[in-house]
Amino acid sequence: MPRTAHQFMEIRETRKAQIMEAALELFAKKGFHSTSVADISKEAGISKGLLYNYFESKEALIKELIMHGFDEIMTVFDPNHDGILTGEEMKYLTIELLELIKADIQFWKLYFSIFTQPPIYNLVEKWIMKKAEPIFTIIGAYFKQEGYENPMVEARLFTAMLDGITMNFVFDPDNFPIEHVRDRFLSLYNLD
């Protein structure tokens, strides 16, 4: 019996996820520049030609990985999608973001390493900035509502501290006391 269009779509999505998972593992382990398309196709168990049916280049593949991960972050940001954060939503954002990090350390190692590699970061910089701008605006509005003197500076500080916490955990998960640091961070902003 021939496959339906839906079955072909499912096969395509499964194969794409398989390629992305193989690339993520290799990029995190060997680095972007040291990983070849041949390495990725071998790890994914497919031919190089088939990989190119899904991604036009290694650069397109890493861009898709980063976009997918950033979209995951958006699932915990402003859960009711009303453009306004409450204290409970800020707490939820912090806790759930750290849970996302713990669930996929390989991705986050890659994510943070990209920021130190300008040729790779340039591939996703505009897209990330477009996604990040409304986040800073909404977090800034939260701090304004809470009476902070310079809410946008506080928004940047808040996100920079979260980045620092996550980066320290990602690169030293066995020794970084993530729950204790998370709780201390929450208490700094009266979110505990």
Using a 10 angstrom Cβ sphere, with 0-12 exposed, 13-18 middle and 19 or more buried, the burial of residue 103 is exposed
CATH number of 62-188: 1.10.357
**Can you read off the two tokens belonging to residue 73?**
């972050």
Helix, strand or coil, per DSSP, at residue 1 = coil
Which sequence spans correspond to the domains of the chain?
5-55, 62-188
Report the chain (192 residues): mean pLDDT per 10 consecutive residues: 78 89 89 92 93 92 88 86 94 94 88 84 87 92 96 96 94 96 96 92
**pLDDT score, position 79:** 86
**Can you read off the two tokens belonging to residue 128?**
């990330």
At the second CATH level, the architecture of 5-55 is Orthogonal Bundle (1.10)
* Helices 87-103 and 58-74: angle between axes, nearest 10 degrees: 140
Helix, strand or coil, per DSSP, at residue 161 = helix
Measured between alpha carbons, how far is 53 from 182 in angstroms, rounded to an integer? 42
Measured between alpha carbons, how far is 125 from 129 in angstroms, rounded to an integer? 6
| pTM as predicted | 0.80
